[in-house]
Amino acid sequence: MQQSERVISNPNLPEHNVTTVAVGARYKETIGALNRIGIKTIEIPDNDNLNSCLSGHADLNLFHFPKNKLFFDFDNIAGDLKDNFQLIRIKGESRKEYPADCLINCLTVGKHLICNPDFTDRQILIDAEKTGLTVIPVNQGYAKCSVCPLTDNALITDDLSIFRSAEKFSIDVLLISKGSIILEGMNYGFIGGATGKTGKNKLAVNGRLDSHPDCNKIIDFLYKYNITPVELINDVITDIGSIIPLLEESR
């Protein structure tokens, strides 16, 4: 880490311009697009324990806990991760079948942890309790895949259980239609898996927003929170297992 950058202490929600993200190593077009706008990429290798369609998804292999904790489930940890984060290998072992493939597919939004507690790695739940995070329990095991966090109190999802649960905790939620995001080898992908914030007021989208039937609703919701979409590739929105912001400018 250079002197001019720091760890994003509030996971997924940078305060300044993002300098480094984690993304699946197989997604070269997206990596190239991020690099061209000045963002370094830590490439997450395929995990042979997971379904081949999902094995390169960063959000199934890496979970950023508040401050500098990273739970992980893959080999060959990049040097930048070792240098900047407290790394915790999960004790459970991921499997190819759902829900055993989503042990760390959860996320924090402000003071909340959104997850299906029945599937989430036990150490994450223990640390959440110690840290004072309130669990928002949802039916969806692919919680991070299904959620695009915008602020501590705002998110986008296409999952009805997440929508209903988050609203109970006074989070502003935009519910969008399911099925229009591509995920190679699967029926469809998810909005969280196709996005990631690259600045306080910037959201990277892996594809064109106009390819989604709820394009106008999404844009209006982003502008409500003063967030500008940054379309990385000229294609239909595609789920690549999230773009996970890790380091940002320290100004």
Residue 164 has pLDDT above 70, yes or no: yes
CA angle 176, 157, 235 (to 5 degrees): 70
Q: What is the pLDDT of residue 78?
A: 77
* Percent of the chain's residues with pLDDT above 70: 99
Place of tokens 């042990």: 103
pLDDT (average), residues 228-240 = 98
**Rounded distance between C-alpha atoms, residue 152 and residue 6, angstroms:** 20
Residue 131 has pLDDT above 90, yes or no: yes
Q: What is the pLDDT of residue 1?
A: 64
pLDDT (average), residues 11-32 = 98
Per-residue DSSP letters for 154-204? Answer: EEEES-HHHHHHHHHTT-EEEE--SS-SB-TTSS---SGGGEEEEETTEEE
pLDDT (average), residues 195-217 = 98
Q: What is the pLDDT of residue 3?
A: 63
Per-residue DSSP letters for 235-247? Answer: SB-B--S--EEEE
| Domains of the chain, earliest start first | 5-249 (3.75.10.10)
Q: Mind listing the pLDDT tens digit for each residue in 66-123? A: 999 999 988 878 778 989 999 999 988 888 999 999 999 999 999 999 999 999 999 9
* Structure confidence at residue 142 as a pLDDT band (50, 70, 90): very high
Distance of CA 218 to the CA centre of its chain: 17
Residue 210 has pLDDT above 70, yes or no: yes
Q: pTM, whole model, 2 decimals?
A: 0.96
Burial 40-58 (b: 16+ CB within 10 A, else e): ebbbbbbbebbbeebbbbb
**Rounded distance between C-alpha atoms, residue 6 and residue 250, angstroms:** 5
**Higher per-residue pLDDT: 75 or 20:** 20
Average pLDDT, the chain: 95
